[in-house]
Chains A and B, each alone.
Chain A
Amino acid sequence: MAPKITGIEPSSLKGLNPENPELCTLEATVVTGLEDVAAEECKEKLGITCVQARGRIFIDVNIADVTKVLSLRSIDNVNVVLSMVKKFSFEDQRERSFEKLYKFAEKQDWRKGMQVWKDVVSYPEEPIKKVVPLKNEYCCPRPDVDLKKMKLLSPVLKNLPENVVPEHLRNDKGLSVVDDSSKQKEKSEELPSTAPTEAVASGPKFRVSCSRTGSNHKFGSPEAARQFGAGVNEMFMWPVDLTNFDLEILLCIDTEFVYVAVSLTREPLFKRNLTNFGRTNLRSTVCHNMVRLATPQLGEVVLDPMCGGATIPMEGSLTHRQAFHLGGDNYGQAVKRSRENINNLLKKGKSMAVDVAWWDATKLPLRNQCVDVVVSDLPFGKRSGSVADNRILYYRSLVELARVTKMKTGRAVLLTYDKRSMIKNIKRVHTLWKSGASRTVNIGGLPAVIYTLYRTSQLSLSDCNEDSKVSETCTDHDLV
């Protein structure tokens, strides 16, 4: 398992050092559980060793090579990191924390970050025109606006002073409903007022998005975003636009670990192959990583017996051109969708050695031993199929897959959430498939598992090797 972000040592990332003006640190997000596969792709295609953390990899790369990182197939989003602090030292008093966050805006390596951003999005002009030093203490807090979406279960709710607790949570906490109008008037005289901006705001429209974890903070994430954003707004005079922004600045707070990054991907990188969506499409980045785990060799056949919209065969045929990718599904609508998806990519001029058929995965219309690799996203039993069906489906398809997959060299990489059905059935077919490593992967919030299996030298359940001591596996009643 990759270490949590709080375990990262900022000094190990050379791109964060202002003394390396040509180097920048990129953060590439990856589905949790597949960080090492992304790191491997990075090493293979860019020759760079990355630092892995949970859900992301950090890559120190020359600014000129940033676009190469954007062409990696295993990552979802890419951000350029401006700074990283291991111990931010948040204060007990809210206002002091606000001050620190507000002033933190001045401590970022904006020149480097904005240079990278400008090149990637091809922004027509220099985003930093002039830099105005910050004059205020901090931005006037507006908890009535910022904490509107705070949930009752939020761990920082207990840390907020009574007069700050949002209206909708007061009754649940047993606090009396406050007469807002008089209190607000009093407060506005005491608080530092933000200096009126005389110059007209110009430059890229921006927003600050904050993600905050930890139970000891005395503020919510929108409040932190407001402080930092106010600092940025006053320094550069960039206009704020929370919906139609050109520039998104990310403020990530995990207990005392804080880092700031600028987003380089407006649309996540996995939105590339599909045009026709089904109920349970797998992200193309996860598809890529799964095919990568199976290491298809030159001239091999890669099969997905339950392909749905053919997401895995398509991604496979685009990135692993050394193999032929074949998919199939028993659901007519899915097969139709696969054809549409493939045709749409062919129209864009893509060259893909991929094909789709309509078949029953438990009775594959394929010759014995013609497939080398199986990569599949099995029905989880939640949105597609059911756990009761899985118990039979997994067994029958594992047996059928063993028939068509080459003995000894064949392997299968299978993703599912229904661990019980999978583990039980792997045991039942252990003479055909040897269990390899398995890893937990976060698929849309579900802790799914990718199982790797290797073909043994036995063709079918009724075939027994002479050395096999376990005779009970060789009887016909096992063939359901």
Chain B
Amino acid sequence: MKLMTHNMLTSKGMKNVKEGFPLKIQAEEMRNVDIDYDRDFITRMIPKLDWKALVFAAQCVGHKEDLPDTLPEGYENDNELLKRLHHVLLEVEVVSGCLECPETQRKFPISNGIPNMLLNEDEV
């Protein structure tokens, strides 16, 4: 599971959950992959991301230092930041572990890089 995906995942489908976002990551095994760096792609992606959630996720998986707490002005020109962002968003993957709902603490397991977001009948 990439952190790009995590930025969109929520447990809001469960009853009694107001936001369900962001989910807390408890990573057991991680891996890095190689994805070609496309500066324009990252620049265009940034407005769609929830920055706070991304920083939170980065912290969960040990990439805290890579990203500033708030998105700085003029980020389009900061190539170093964009490169680090590219790495954290697309190249860092959680292979196994789980995602935890912030409101109910329900755990969604991640195995083989795939988060299992299926809900049980009583949770819907």
Contacts and interface: CB of A to CB of B under 8 A. Distances in A.
Interface of A: 298-299, 301, 321-322, 324, 326, 328, 330, 335-336, 338-339, 346, 351-353, 355-360, 363-367, 370-371
A338 B1 CA distance: 13
Given A365-B10, A365-B12, 13 more contacts: A298-B40, A298-B44, A324-B45, A330-B118, A335-B114, A336-B112, A351-B36, A355-B1, A357-B116, A357-B117, A358-B118, A363-B13, A367-B50
Contact of B9 (A335, A346, A357): A357
Given A298-B40, A298-B44, A370 B118 contact: no
A355 B2 contact: yes
Given A326-B5, A366-B10, A357 B44 contact: no
Contact of B119 (A335, A336, A346, A363): A363
Given A353-B90, A355-B4, A365-B13, A299 B48 contact: yes
26 contacts: A298-B41, A299-B40, A299-B41, A299-B48, A322-B41, A324-B90, A326-B8, A339-B113, A355-B1, A355-B4, A355-B5, A357-B1, A357-B114, A357-B115, A357-B117, A359-B118, A360-B13, A360-B118, A365-B9, A365-B10, A365-B13, A366-B8, A366-B10, A367-B8, A367-B21, A371-B8
Contacts of B44: 298-299
Contact of B34 (A299, A351, A359): A351
Contacts of B41: 298-299, 321-322, 353
Contacts of B5: 326, 355, 357
B38 A339 contact: no
B119 A360 contact: yes
Interface residues of B, number: 33
A456 to B, nearest CB: 20
Contact of B4 (A324, A346, A365, A367): A324
A359 B117 contact: yes
B40 A365 contact: no
Nearest to B90: A353
A353 B44 CA distance: 15
A367 B10 CA distance: 6
Given A322-B41, A363-B13, A339 B8 contact: no
Nearest to B37: A351
B25 to A, nearest CB: 14
A135 B43 CA distance: 71
A359 B21 CA distance: 17
Contact of B38 (A322, A352, A358): A322
B119 A370 contact: no
A6 B40 CA distance: 47
